[in-house]
């Protein structure tokens, strides 16, 4: 029997892609959609497919019926997700989250709430398989080449910086690298922020320009050499296989599971 899926943020760029893929994915069925835009319209027509009778709900509460929905997928913005996620979990519905910018204290709260309601919640900063490999390779390299900087590049509509992928990459490298200073201790910025953000001695730089989707390079420096590990999502389709997998897996969890590595 197919898992019944609802999508929050269904009419955004990611949301429409998710709805289209859920509709076509074996083992999943799109049964509900919520967005602040296009309320009352048929989501099938909005994603360029046939009319399917799933109308965009006016309120998120209108799609939270555990007898009708098995999994909710939320790809919105942090402010909205922070309101939505507790409602979904309290309704006894599993949830897959792709929204970044949510603090660690909130994830602890959601883990507890999911366990209390006997459901699963899954979060990944990036659902592209190549991005997962990029983070794994960076973590391995940081053991041997601890001088490193991260450059992440996204479309100019992205609100948070650095990206969730960059933050996850930095944390994973820090766990094996340890905190250390790098660069000239006497360096100074002629323009504030020129050296980017700093995390345990590592620098991170965020680029926001039209034309990009989601991209990241991790640059390591050593004696007489550099190593660059780069991943490029050229379209939002790159995230879809990971999201579909998460939607199928989350119903087997109780509480919070993070990162695509743990379900591949």
Phi and psi of 196, rounded to 5°? 80, -170
Whether 154 is catalytic is yes
Of these residues, 4, 154, 231, 249, which one is catalytic?
Answer: 154
**Does residue 66 have an active-site annotation?**
no
Q: Active-site residue among 4, 158, 231, 248?
A: 158
Residues catalogued as catalytic = 154, 158
């Amino acid at each position: 029997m197919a898992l019944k899926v609802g999508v929050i943020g269904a009419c955004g760029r990611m949301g429409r892609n998710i709805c289209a893929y859920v509709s076509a994915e074996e083992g999943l069925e799109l049964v509900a959609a919520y967005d602040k835009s296009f309320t009352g319209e048929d989501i099938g027509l909005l994603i360029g497919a046939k009319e399917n009778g799933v109308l965009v709900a006016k309120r998120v509460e209108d799609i939270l019926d555990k007898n009708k929905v098995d999994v909710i997928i939320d790809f919105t913005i942090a402010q909205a997700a922070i309101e939505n996620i507790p409602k979904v979990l309290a309704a006894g519905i599993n949830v897959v989250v792709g929204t970044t910018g949510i603090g660690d204290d909130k994830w602890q709260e959601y883990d507890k709430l999911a366990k209390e309601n006997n459901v699963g919640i899954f979060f990944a900063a990036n659902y592209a398989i190549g991005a997962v490999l990029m983070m794994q390779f960076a973590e391995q390299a940081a053991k041997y080449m601890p001088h490193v900087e991260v450059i992440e590049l996204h479309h100019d509509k992205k609100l948070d910086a650095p990206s969730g992928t960059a933050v996850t990459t930095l944390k994973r490298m820090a766990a094996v690298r340890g905190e250390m200073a790098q660069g000239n201790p006497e360096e100074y910025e002629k323009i504030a922020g020129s050296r980017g953000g700093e995390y345990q001695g590592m620098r991170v730089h965020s680029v926001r320009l039209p034309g990009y989707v989601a991209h990241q390079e991790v640059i390591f420096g050593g004696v007489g050499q550099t190593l660059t590990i780069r991943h490029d999502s050229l379209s939002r389709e790159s995230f879809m296989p990971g999201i579909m997998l998460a939607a199928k897996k989350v119903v087997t969890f109780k509480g919070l599971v993070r990162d695509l590595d743990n379900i591949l």
